[in-house]
Chains A and B, each alone.
Chain A
Amino acid sequence: MQSLNPVLITDSQPIANKAFLLQFNRTFIFKPGQIIGITTQKEIAPRLYSICSTPNDATVSILYTIKEDGVLTPQLSALKAGETIWITQPQGKFLFDGKPSWWIATGTGIAPFYSMFQSGQKPLKLIHGGRTQNDLYFHQEFQALTDYIKCCSQDSGNGIYAGRLTKYIDEQESLPPHINYYLCGSAEMVVDVRNLLIKKGAEYHQIITEIYF
């Protein structure tokens, strides 16, 4: 078992349908893109979540959605400020190297990119996918990016590309050469997008992926 340390929740708020932002005081050093294990009780194995705050923030923020058949997230969502959760040390190597890149995310897969973005790191383009704009967490903050593409499969208008992000990528005449592609989201999205990028000419070693499990 990874070593677990108790921390007090400082805030826990719903930010969209089934999506919550959990915060606690930062007691460790981490890099944008890293993950942390969280559990509500020492007896329950921790689950891994990307950190979506910056290394300089006093509090650590974690974005998660409730899995109704899950063990942990229904319990997490019921906790209030002042209650205790257990965390592991930060880990993970999904780190941005600063080279020209596209960031591509769906769902809570946006979390590591939000940490990177809030830390001053920027992509050439961010392609953000969800069913509706409500599923594009932090989309208002990301508007500050030069090239921010909001793809919604069940929404339109207001600067939204109406369609899945795979459709958006497939419609690009060509991909920019010599850039990297950072992907974060469900395994299905990551695999679909990776295959699509390769089909459109990207080399597999240009693609850096983070998966949820």
Chain B
Amino acid sequence: MSKSILFGKTLAELNEICKQIGLPGFAGKQIAQWLYQKEVYSIAEMTNLSLKSRELLAQKYEVGLEAPIKVQVSADGTKKYLFQAKAGNFIETAMMPDNDRKTVCVSSQVGCKMGCLFCMTARQGFQSNLTAGEILNQYRSISEWAEITNLVYMGMGEPFDNIDEVLKSLEILTSDWGYALSPKRITVSTIGIIPGMKTFLEKSNCHLAVSMHTPFEEERKKLMPIEQVYSLEEVIEHIRAFDFGLQRRVSFEYIMFKGVNDTPRHVKELIRLLNGLRCRINLIRFHPIPDSPLQGSDDETIMEFKDTLNRKGIITTLRASRGQDIYAACGLLSTKELVKKQEKDY
């Protein structure tokens, strides 16, 4: 019988496990420290637990860290890691160094249900949700993990479609018994699933990023089917109603598509839509995926778009393109690797 995985359990879950197998009450916190603050790969290494406790724990559990099965290194230092998931699927993780920062971009699902027109992951369909342990393993099991300064949930999948496991992973990352990272170093990105976003805002202090890509409803519907269900206008209404305080940040991701969302009309509408909201816009260059009807805007248009927004008082940055030579955009590598075994239902 396969053993259950300890890595990715919250302190409350570890305490419950200890209670069930008859370990002392303080053992849960000790196990958490071994899992998240010390570099152990087995229960046998948890030496401040009694031998009997370790034996009891090891009967049903294992640590469960999984090394990546593949890594690609870009000329710019970006690394793309591939982890094995269940049923012949793959999890993608990117690590992007930038001067004294190292950012890891983690996936929250294998595949995605959201069907965005510009996204390669969408072409896999949805395979499965990742557990908190599988999410955290993408951080802990890469060779640079101890040097990571920032985490972004912008890999494969929609984090708020897997809100419970994402929140557990954030709890482990930011708790003093866990990795004790500042929530200000973590950003979770969503396409705007409002119930999940509200839960995230209430239960976490991490930054929020919203994939916007156009301020116009009819255009957004064609790019992002979620607009049919949760409109951008409603998303922004909820964000306006929430007190982000001075430290917590909300940003809007905006991929620049040539002739689609890069015109002065879009600038004008963005200014109207975000008027008075303390936020920033991150512009992203689009690197076409195979058979896409969309093309990326040219640099001149992007810079003009950015400068106009900044002049109008909306802090707007342009994200540097990273790892283009290794397909670092999410979904490209794993879709290439994916072995589709399941039958289609149509």
Cross-chain contact A189 with B291 (CB below 8 angstroms): no
With A198-B293, A204-B222 already in contact, the answer to whether A209 and B346 are too (CB < 8 A) is no
B residues near A151, Cβ cutoff 8 Å: 346
With A187-B113, A191-B123, A213-B113 already in contact, the answer to whether A107 and B346 are too (CB < 8 A) is yes
With A92-B228, A199-B291, A204-B117 already in contact, the answer to whether A213 and B344 are too (CB < 8 A) is no
Q: Is B286 an interface residue (CB 8 A)?
A: no
Q: A129's contact among B219, B222, B228, B346, by CB below 8 Å, is which? A: B346
Q: Is B229 an interface residue (CB 8 A)?
A: yes
With A187-B125, A191-B115 already in contact, the answer to whether A211 and B345 are too (CB < 8 A) is no
Report the separation of the CA atoms of residues A107 and B346 in the bound assembly, to the nearest whole angstrom: 8
Cross-chain contact A191 with B344 (CB below 8 angstroms): no
Cross-chain contact B113 with A205 (CB below 8 angstroms): no
B residues near A186, Cβ cutoff 8 Å: 113, 125-126, 345-346
Cross-chain contact A1 with B346 (CB below 8 angstroms): no
Q: B346's contact among A165, A194, A205, by CB below 8 Å, is which? A: A165
Interface residues of A in 126-151 (CB under 8 A from B): 129-131, 135, 151
Cross-chain contact A106 with B227 (CB below 8 angstroms): no
Chain A contact residues: helix, strand, loop or mixed: mixed
Cross-chain contact A188 with B195 (CB below 8 angstroms): no
Interface residues of A in 144-196 (CB under 8 A from B): 151, 153, 164-166, 185-191, 194-195
Report the separation of the CA atoms of residues A186 and B222 in the bound assembly, to the nearest whole angstrom: 17
Interface residues of A in 41-59 (CB under 8 A from B): 45, 48
Q: Is B270 an interface residue (CB 8 A)?
A: no
Cross-chain contact A188 with B344 (CB below 8 angstroms): yes
Q: Is A2 an interface residue (CB 8 A)?
A: yes
Interface residues of B in 160-194 (CB under 8 A from A): 161, 193
With A191-B125, A210-B225, A211-B225 already in contact, the answer to whether A164 and B117 are too (CB < 8 A) is no
Interface centre among B124, B161, B222, B343 (most CB of A within 10 A): B222
Q: Is A94 an interface residue (CB 8 A)?
A: yes
A104 to chain B, nearest CB (A): 10
Q: Is A207 an interface residue (CB 8 A)?
A: yes
Cross-chain contact B115 with A187 (CB below 8 angstroms): yes
A155 to chain B, nearest CB (A): 12
B213 to chain A, nearest CB (A): 13
Cross-chain contact A194 with B117 (CB below 8 angstroms): yes
B329 to chain A, nearest CB (A): 16
Report the separation of the CA atoms of residues A48 and B113 in the bound assembly, to the nearest whole angstrom: 14
Cross-chain contact B125 with A203 (CB below 8 angstroms): no
Q: A189's contact among B221, B231, B294, B344, by CB below 8 Å, is which? A: B344
Cross-chain contact B346 with A212 (CB below 8 angstroms): no
Q: A188's contact among B126, B161, B219, B226, by CB below 8 Å, is which? A: B126
Report the separation of the CA atoms of residues A194 and B222 in the bound assembly, to the nearest whole angstrom: 11
Report the separation of the CA atoms of residues A163 and B192 in the bound assembly, to the nearest whole angstrom: 36
Cross-chain contact B195 with A94 (CB below 8 angstroms): no
Q: A209's contact among B126, B161, B193, B225, by CB below 8 Å, is which? A: B225
Report the separation of the CA atoms of residues A35 and B228 in the bound assembly, to the nearest whole angstrom: 10
Q: Is B253 an interface residue (CB 8 A)?
A: no
Cross-chain contact B221 with A93 (CB below 8 angstroms): yes
Give the nearest-CB partner of A208 in chain B: B221
Cross-chain contact B115 with A107 (CB below 8 angstroms): no
Q: Is B326 an interface residue (CB 8 A)?
A: no
Cross-chain contact A189 with B228 (CB below 8 angstroms): no
Q: Is B54 an interface residue (CB 8 A)?
A: no
A124 to chain B, nearest CB (A): 20
Give the nearest-CB partner of B125 in chain A: A188
Q: Is B158 an interface residue (CB 8 A)?
A: yes
Binding site for B on A (CB under 8 A): 1-2, 35, 45, 48, 91-94, 106-107, 129-131, 135, 151, 153, 164-166, 185-191, 194-195, 198-199, 203-205, 207-213
Binding site for A on B (CB under 8 A): 111-115, 117, 122-126, 158, 161, 193, 195, 198, 217, 219, 221-222, 225-229, 231, 291, 293-294, 343-346
A-B contact pairs, 30 of them (CB 8 A): A2-B195, A45-B195, A91-B229, A93-B217, A93-B228, A106-B346, A107-B345, A107-B346, A130-B346, A131-B345, A131-B346, A164-B346, A165-B346, A186-B113, A186-B125, A187-B112, A188-B124, A188-B125, A190-B225, A191-B123, A203-B293, A204-B117, A205-B222, A208-B222, A209-B228, A210-B228, A211-B114, A211-B225, A212-B113, A213-B126
Extra 11 A-B pairs, beta carbons < 8 Å, given A93-B228, A189-B344, A208-B228:
A107-B345, A131-B343, A131-B346, A165-B346, A186-B126, A187-B112, A190-B225, A194-B117, A198-B293, A213-B114, A213-B161
